[in-house]
Amino acid sequence: MRIDILTLFPDIFTSFLDGSLLGAARIAGLIDIRITNIRDFADGVHRQVDDRPFGGGPGMLLMPGPVVDCVESVQQSDPLPGHLLMLTPGGRRLDQQLVEELAAKDRLVLLCGRYEGFDARVRQTLQPIEISIGDYVLSGGEVAAMAIIDAVARLVPSVLGDEESARQDSFSGPERLVEGPQYTRPREFRGLQVPEVLLSGDHGKIAGWRHQQAVDATRRRSTTELTPATVVTFQ
């Protein structure tokens, strides 16, 4: 799979892309990730990429020229055109279903915005797939791009090394359940015991227990609120 990242802040990605999982996947040739600085496509001595919105309003918008030129140049750098993803809070919300769809593609082009967003003609010209990672505001698309790349890469065959671990992850499988509790040694920690069933060796029973735990965890998850009672104090 090839992934292009188009950004005004390429440095943000360096340690992320060289890190353990992605670094190894890139060295092994499983994923080809390339970064392009949108500012390289700006004109003039100032290499301006942003300007104030017509009609007034806060902040600065990304100008269409550098962004569209950058996308066209990156797309044309490979005979296989990529699915163009524009990272913006108004886009389709990322979930594991969308991650699976993206992981099935051979090439993705991730366009990161900054400032208050893109000039609307970027969308009109490029017709990207707009993606958001949740209903909150980030300062730019870079953190969202990293979330997408991380989630997609672990579904690319051989990246994890253990395909079974991706299948067992939260939100995988038809029910999209979160994972229930898991335990390792020691068998007892501060008086807390590992559930007997996990030590039983009965794989059918263990699978049934885990499924029920996942159903319970999925139901509990959506109702947790921040209250004074959720602050844990230590003695």
Site residues, ligand 6GU (CB under 6 A)? 87-89, 132-134, 136-138, 140-141, 144
169 flagged as catalytic = yes
154 flagged as catalytic = yes
Q: Which residue is catalytic, options 4, 66, 89, 128?
A: 89
Q: Which residue is catalytic, options 116, 130, 150, 179?
A: 116
Nearer to ligand 6GU, 31 or 85 (CB): 85
Shortest Å, Cβ 110 to ligand 6GU: 10
Q: Which amino acid is at 2?
A: R
Nearer to ligand 6GU, 137 or 229 (CB): 137
Give me the residue label for tokens 């068998």. 187
Shortest Å, Cβ 118 to ligand 6GU: 11
* Sign of the Cα pseudo-torsion (173, 178, 184, 188, in order): negative
Q: What are 39's two structure tokens?
A: 């500012």
Q: What are 231's two structure tokens?
A: 């602050």
Shortest Å, Cβ 114 to ligand 6GU: 8
Neighbouring C-beta atoms of residue 31, cutoff 10 Å? 19
116 flagged as catalytic = yes
Integer CA distances (angstroms), 93 to 82, 107, 134, in order: 20, 20, 6
Shortest Å, Cβ 9 to ligand 6GU: 12
DSSP letters of 119-165? Answer: -HHHHHHH-PEEEESSSS--SSSHHHHHHHHHHHHTTSTTSSS-HHH
Q: Which residues of 220-232 are buried (b: 16+ CB within 10 A; e: fewer)?
A: eeeeeeeeeeeee
Nearer to ligand 6GU, 129 or 160 (CB): 129
Helices (H) and strands (E) in the chain, counts: 8, 9
Neighbouring C-beta atoms of residue 162, cutoff 10 Å? 9
220 flagged as catalytic = no
Shortest Å, Cβ 115 to ligand 6GU: 9
Q: Tell me the three state secondary structure of residue 74.
A: helix
Nearer to ligand 6GU, 11 or 202 (CB): 11
Nearer to ligand 6GU, 25 or 112 (CB): 112
Q: Which residues are catalytic?
A: 89, 116, 154, 169
